[in-house]
Amino acid sequence: MDGKTVTAAKNGCEGCNQEAFDEIGNIIDLYKDKEGSLIQVLHRAQGIYGYLPLELQSYIADGLGLSLSEVSGVVTFYPFFKTKPQGKHTISICMGTACYVRGGKKLVETIRDLLGIEVGETTEDGMFTFVVERCIGACGLAPAVMVDDTVYRQVDEEMLKAIIEKYRKGEVSA
Amino acid sequence: MAEQIKTFKQLEDIKKAYLAAQEKYDYIVYVCGGAGCVAAKCDVIRKTLIDETQKAGIGDTVSVVQTGCMGTCAVGPVMLVTPGNIFYTELTADKVKKIVTGHLAGGKVVEEYTYYDAALDKHVPKMDDIDFFKKQVKIALRNCGAMAYNDIAAYIARDGYQAACKALTELSPQKVVDEVMASGLRGRGGAGFPTGIKWQAAHDSKGDRKYMVCNADEGDPGAFMDRAILDGDPHSVVEGMLLGGYAIGADTGYIYIRAEYPVAVERIGDAIDQARAHGLLGKDIFGSGFDYDLEIRIGAGVYVCGEETALMASIEGNRGEPRQKPPLPFQKGLFGCPTNINNVETLANIPAIVKNGGKWYAQYGTEKSKGTKVFALAGDVVMTGIVEVPIGTPMREIIFNICGGVPDGKKFKAVQSGGPSGGVITDLDLDVPTDYQSLQQLGAIVGSGILIVMNEDTCMVDSARYFMEFIREESCGKCNACRLGTKRMLEILERIVDGEGEEGDVELLEELCEVVAETSLCGLGQTAPNAVMSTIRYFRDEYDEHIRDGICRAGVCFTQRDKKAYPQRLRGRVL
């Protein structure tokens, strides 16, 4: 891929975080000659930018010499890749079998009441994103809740309220 | 630069030095750092131990080691004190302080904090006396919970990399395949295909390049055995991959780990770095002229990527959709080259098999199903956690004798074996040996080794609906049978649990099950109806009660069901 297209994509994104785009550009350079590295680039790009907006997908497509539809097809196939900004904290309720039979679905209800958002949404203040996981592999601790990378075990409704309060007050850093 | 390990003697020397260093200590305390114990704040336990032993002036005579999962997730955080093999459970910082002064400084076991056996109504301090441990045979889990997971020297001290050294310096690739063939080992990821046959095919196929792949995309809800191995004994997986690569003639191996396991990604990455630094990966390994290296690929939250053709598509950077087989991976796999794919637990067995011989492994298990299998127990069972037993051990033994049965005085109803692709086993069949053939006859599978124990409060129709909802969400949509069939089946199950079931619904379900099973493209669709067929087979009366009488004997349906919780879930996350 020649440099021109990449520059065009760069200029075509008004208001994007240029520094982050440059950093991602370096990663693209690192991977562009290696076959089959799109998913790795996407992982790292999301790590830097937080999510993968269309402008960024287009930038990556140009950099790797792929079409936007190919990149977008991959991004939307994998739930791990996000196309919208995420909250400061991500609350994941596990809905694996063990968590489900031990009360996971009650926790979903609790979060919905507490935060007023549906699965996949982010609170207006940008504090929390609420997701449901299919299984986080903590079945011995069911029902399990994960906030960012921290797993909480045998969570009931009261505990969940306390956990959310803790994050809201900033007692736990991101 | 780290010492380059080229000979068997060097491995022996590292082992001797490590063991000698260990002997200097009066006590070695193994603190479980498995996922369960991490969630139970085992880092606080470890820190308290270190601080308190310093304060007591015994910091130099007590070694604190963080290990992988010991298997007893239900009673974490746990730790093991040697000598004496004293097993402390449900630890808190206060308990640790008392154990330091009483046991580590005072020499007296603090019995009240040791493992409590509810069935015997007493404390059982010694690990060797505890039913949960003494009835297990650990091969795949041989190092999990028994050593520092992050130290290559600790792995070598437990005879690690001896198998690789022996294979690369003494055995031909064919001889390595022969040992695996003789062991009778079958794929532990779910399908149970004989590993030796797979390796032979990959060994025999011709190609300029070949690839070895480790499937660490453990996605079945309820499965956490591969996670225990990845987190607790990453070098076993690395050595298994090295042996596999040598046996089939690959120069590169990929380990595909799901994104939900960041700890596993980190620990496998560290293990690869350590192995590379010691010359156990890279050029001319063990001076044999064999070049081989490993790379990690991270998944992105798609269940079907555990299917081998989908997994390969994902490694190639594409949408992880399965494709028609044949061609099989050994004919045309990753980037069009011959490829061999094995699951984590399968690979963790390989070093032990090559070191001790295939015959040694085949002494365990039954006539047709050799070796041991790791099971992950969850749900309504006293000891949720991980066990490894010889194949053929009856389900009753595993659930009631090893794992303590159903808690809170509730009645056992069924055990779901094999996850979404598996089926239920009722009380009547609990004495059947858990081998591949016997479980299949019962309409269940060994699968990846998931055992979800369900008590009388679980509705079997709702559990079938749960699994169908899971499959429907995870269907990639490529083939009609799976995409549409699972949706139609889910709709029928939903109306039954909503109290709107009609006469003939069960027959319609059975017909759909048959069509989807026979016409789907990949394993996900082909096994999608299993949970439904199995619950109809054993709990037909519950279906009828829901439809005809509007009764759910477990009291789960008609009222609480949350329509919104699941359907929006998966694609909701993409938004």
- Whether A123 is covered by a domain: the verdict is yes
Cis peptide before B83 (omega within 30 of 0): yes
pLDDT at B264 over 50: yes
What confidence score (pLDDT) does residue A11 get?
A: 46
Q: What is the pLDDT of residues B452-484, one digit of tens each?
A: 999 999 999 999 999 999 999 999 999 999 999
- Topology agreement, domain B157-362 and domain B467-574: no
- Whether A173 is covered by a domain: the verdict is no
What confidence score (pLDDT) does residue B569 get?
A: 33
Chain B residues whose CB is inside 8 A of the A81 CB are 300, 574
Q: Percent of chain B beyond pLDDT 70?
A: 97
Question: What total number of domains does chain A contain?
Answer: 2
Sign (positive or negative) of CA dihedral B436, B438, B439, B442: positive
| Residues A99, A41 within the same domain | no
Q: Which pLDDT band holds residue A173 (cuts at 50, 70, 90)?
A: low
List the single range of A4-8, B350-354, B455-459 with lowest mean pLDDT. Answer: A4-8
Residue B572 and residue A139: Cβ atoms within 8 Å?
A: no
Q: Which pLDDT band holds residue B558 (cuts at 50, 70, 90)?
A: confident
Residue B569 and residue A140: Cβ atoms within 8 Å?
A: no
What confidence score (pLDDT) does residue A35 get?
A: 85
d(CA B200, CA A46): 41
Residue A110 sits in which domain range?
A: 89-168
- Is residue B389 within 8 A of residue B137, CB to CB? The reply is yes
Residue B463 and residue A101: Cβ atoms within 8 Å?
A: yes
Chain A residues whose CB is inside 8 A of the B572 CB are 118-121, 131-132
Chain B residues whose CB is inside 8 A of the A140 CB are 36, 73-74, 224, 376-378, 384-386
Distances (CA, A) of B208 to B142, B281, B285, B316: 36, 20, 20, 18
pLDDT at B384 over 70: yes
- Is residue B387 within 8 A of residue B434, CB to CB? The reply is no
| Residues A72, A9 within the same domain | yes
Query: What is the distance in angstroms between the Cα of B127 and the nearest Cα belonging to chain A?
Result: 20
| Residues A96, A158 within the same domain | yes
| Residues A59, A128 within the same domain | no
Facing residue for B221 by CB, picked from A36, A97, A153: A97
| Residues A108, A58 within the same domain | no
- Whether A83 is covered by a domain: the verdict is no
Query: What is the distance in angstroms between the Cα of B121 and the nearest Cα belonging to chain A?
Result: 22
| Residues A69, A7 within the same domain | yes
Query: What is the distance in angstroms between the Cα of A10 and the nearest Cα belonging to chain B?
Result: 23
Chain B residues whose CB is inside 8 A of the A61 CB are none
Query: Which residue(s) pair with B475 in the sheet?
Result: none
Chain A residues whose CB is inside 8 A of the B378 CB are 97-98, 139-140, 142
Domain finish residue from A77, A100, A128: A77
Facing residue for A39 by CB, picked from B300, B419, B574: B300
CATH superfamily of the domain spanning B21-134: Glutaredoxin (3.40.30.10)
Domain finish residue from A77, A111, A128: A77
Facing residue for A101 by CB, picked from B297, B454, B574: B454
Beta strands per DSSP E along B371-433: 372-379, 385-390, 412-417, 423-426
For tokens 């619904």, name the residue.
B505
| Per-chain mean pLDDT for chain B | 94
Domain finish residue from A77, A100, A122: A77
What confidence score (pLDDT) does residue B225 get?
A: 94
| Residue-range domain boundaries for chain B | 21-134, 157-362, 372-455, 467-574
Facing residue for A108 by CB, picked from B218, B565, B575: B565
| Residues A72, A110 within the same domain | no
What confidence score (pLDDT) does residue B222 get?
A: 86
Q: Which pLDDT band holds residue B575 (cuts at 50, 70, 90)?
A: very low
Which of 1.20.58.740, 3.40.710.10, 3.40.50.11540, 3.30.465.10 would CATH assign to domain B157-362? 3.40.50.11540
Q: Which pLDDT band holds residue B36 (cuts at 50, 70, 90)?
A: confident
- Is residue B90 within 8 A of residue B76, CB to CB? The reply is yes
- Which CATH architecture describes the domain B467-574? Up-down Bundle (1.20)
DSSP B322-352: ---SSSPTTTS-GGGS-EEEEEHHHHHHHHH
Residue A140 and residue B454: Cβ atoms within 8 Å?
A: no
Q: What value does the mean pLDDT take over residues A109-124?
A: 93
Chain A residues whose CB is inside 8 A of the B571 CB are 79, 120
pLDDT higher for B574 or A90? Answer: A90
Q: What is the pLDDT of residues B193-215, one digit of tens each?
A: 999 999 999 999 999 999 999 99
Chain A residues whose CB is inside 8 A of the B223 CB are 135, 137, 139
Residue B466 and residue A80: Cβ atoms within 8 Å?
A: no
Query: What is the distance in angstroms between the Cα of B367 and the nearest Cα belonging to chain A?
Result: 32
Q: What is the pLDDT of residues B75-124, one digit of tens each?
A: 999 999 999 999 999 999 999 999 999 999 999 999 999 999 988 999 99
- Whether A110 is covered by a domain: the verdict is yes
- Whether A27 is covered by a domain: the verdict is yes
Fold of B372-455: Ubiquitin-like (UB roll) (3.10.20)
3-class DSSP state for residue B373? Answer: strand
pLDDT at B323 over 50: yes
Interface size between A and B, measured as CB pairs under 8 A: 183
What confidence score (pLDDT) does residue A105 get?
A: 84
Q: What is the pairing mode between strands B290-298 and B252-257? A: parallel
**Residue A86 gets which letter from DSSP?**
P
pLDDT at A7 over 60: no
Facing residue for A78 by CB, picked from B220, B301, B386: B301
- Is residue B275 within 8 A of residue B386, CB to CB? The reply is no
CATH number at residue A114: 3.40.30.10
**Closest C-alpha among B418, B421, B423 to residue B523:** B421
Chain A residues whose CB is inside 8 A of the B377 CB are 140
Facing residue for A101 by CB, picked from B458, B571, B573: B458
